[in-house]
Amino acid sequence: MTATYRGFTFEQIAKTLDHSVLKPDVTQADIEAGAQIARKYDTASYCVQGVNIAQAAELLEGSGVPVCATVGFPHGAITSVAKAFEATEATRNGATEVDMVISVGSLISGDDELVLADIRAVAEAAHVGGAHLKVILETALLTADQIVRGCQLSEQAGADFVKTSTGFSTAGATLENIRLMKATVGDRLRVKASGGVRSVDQVIDFIEAGVSRCGTSNAEAILLEFNSLAS
């Protein structure tokens, strides 16, 4: 009989986790260690920054674990042309998922046209390269109305996911914001929680609120915790 915790199996939890190694001081050894975790636990993806994509892709070759690349990370405050180029480079180097940060200030300012064009440019570049696009809203900096508008613009621009946070802002994912995002996009887009995801109970709470993915640098600890709790 397969062990479960709160009705979920180990594989279901592992396949929700985007294991992430994104700090600015990561070394090649850190990337190798992260890839070993992603491969060992068969996580949903392995998320790294641009300079580390080729190494991650080589380390994960044949594992079935996709490489996820950040774009415009962590502030989103670069031009759409630069973000689109970054997405193109990411897919050329082996990424099959792209997590972009929107122009947060433009969304707050009400410049929906710029935000829409920004997301669309990256969506097109990612899709041409065979990658899914997740759009990071940085929800801690937004009002509820701005979160809804960010989700709507992401959908209009052709994104595949909306995502809460970078993990580098004032706060991370909350159940309130996840429920709001899920209510806005329904089943048309998927939802990813990120920022402060450290426990298996958080992951399950987020899944039950509607997420398909959780970004975390704590994948191994979460999965070991699952094993300690499962019966």
- In the residue annotation, 145 being an active-site residue is answered as no
61 φ/ψ angles, rounded to the nearest 5 degrees: -55, 130
CA distances to 23, 26, 102, 219 from 10, in Å: 27, 28, 33, 12
Active-site choice (83, 134, 182, 192): 192
- In the residue annotation, 42 being an active-site residue is answered as no
Query: What are the residues whose beta carbons fall under 8 Å from the beta carbon of 123, sequence distance 6 or more?
Result: 133, 157, 158, 159
- In the residue annotation, 192 being an active-site residue is answered as yes
Computed on alpha carbons and rounded to an integer, the radius of gyration of the chain in Å comes to: 17
Active-site choice (18, 83, 118, 163): 163
Within 10 A of 230 (CB to CB), how many other CB atoms are there?
A: 16
Active-site choice (18, 99, 118, 160): 99
Catalytic residues: 99, 163, 192
